[in-house]
Amino acid sequence: MIDHWLWCLHRNELSENDIQKLNTYLLFYKYWNQEINLATKLFKVDEFATHPIERNRKKMTTDEIRTFLGENKAIREFLPWNPVHFSFDWGYDARQMHYICTFLKHVDYDIRVKGAAELDAAS
């Protein structure tokens, strides 16, 4: 969809409505990619330390995203969901979901390690 829109834009064949949708789509990704890059630094996720999301090609498959969403229903409303997407698609970006899933695993690991250390100190 986006590749086609960009091709039409360069040929001056894109309607005003589609230009607005393209701008919304791109602004959405720019915002969330900046937030994800910031979170990479804040959470100190080594896997992404030298790879901003724009340069990384790792992503989740559709089945992995579906499984992740099924297992993490409580955070679903906080995940980046792009309002501009194909009608048959769900608006989640596979690369952004890969980063978020990795963050959650990293944070969960840190919480378990700190919890174990606190239990050891208390006993």
The predicted-structure confidence for 20-52, as pLDDT tens digits, reads as follows 888 888 898 899 999 988 888 887 887 777 778
Domain residue spans in the chain?
2-122
pTM of the model: 0.71
Across the range 50-64, mean pLDDT stands at 87
Largest CA distance in the chain: 71
Question: For residues 114 and 18, what is the distance between their CA atoms, to the nearest angstrom?
Answer: 49
Distances (CA, A) of 35 to 14, 31, 39, 47, 114: 30, 6, 6, 17, 25
Helix (H) or strand (E) holding 72: none
Smallest Cα–Cα separation from 19: which of 38, 36, 6, 29? 6
pLDDT tens digits along 88-118:
567 888 889 999 888 888 777 555 556 556 6
